[in-house]
Amino acid sequence: MKELDPLVFLAVFQEMLGPLLWLMLLVIIAGTAAFVALLAKEKGINSKRLVRAELSGLLGGVLALVLMAKVSSSGFTDAGGPADWFLIALVFGLGLIGTAILVYTVIGWRKPVVNA
């Protein structure tokens, strides 16, 4: 593979995830838009809400690893080299960050901060 073609990645992810890919992309796009709108509305980040969201992000990272193990043909015991462990850490990190952003956004829209 001499060039990086995004359509190849799309085809591989579509094959692995099926309809779940499109649902995940929809959640990512809608969640990001809601997060940006919440930041614009509140003009900042609420630290108490952020800590709660980060803690729930740990669960999201673990769930991302479980999903990765389910859709791939290999498990964690098959990881041999540094590239495999880097990919596992990357999947965990993206699950953690994505879940933290979504939880922060949901909590923010359900319980807005009252400015006194």
pLDDT 10s digits, 74-110: 766 666 778 878 888 999 999 999 999 999 999 999 9
Element (H, E) at 35: helix 19-42
For residue 116, what pLDDT is reported? Answer: 43
pTM: 0.79
CA–CA distance, 44 with 59 (Å, rounded to integer): 25
Q: Are 16 and 71 in contact (CB under 8 A)?
A: yes
Identify which of 41-45, 57-61, 68-72 has the greatest average pLDDT: 57-61
Query: What's the mean per-residue pLDDT of the chain?
Result: 86
Residue 2 pLDDT > 90 = no
Q: Which residues contact 46 (CB under 8 A, 6 or more apart)?
A: 108, 113
Which residues neighbour 23 within 8 Å (Cβ) at sequence distance 6 or greater?
A: none
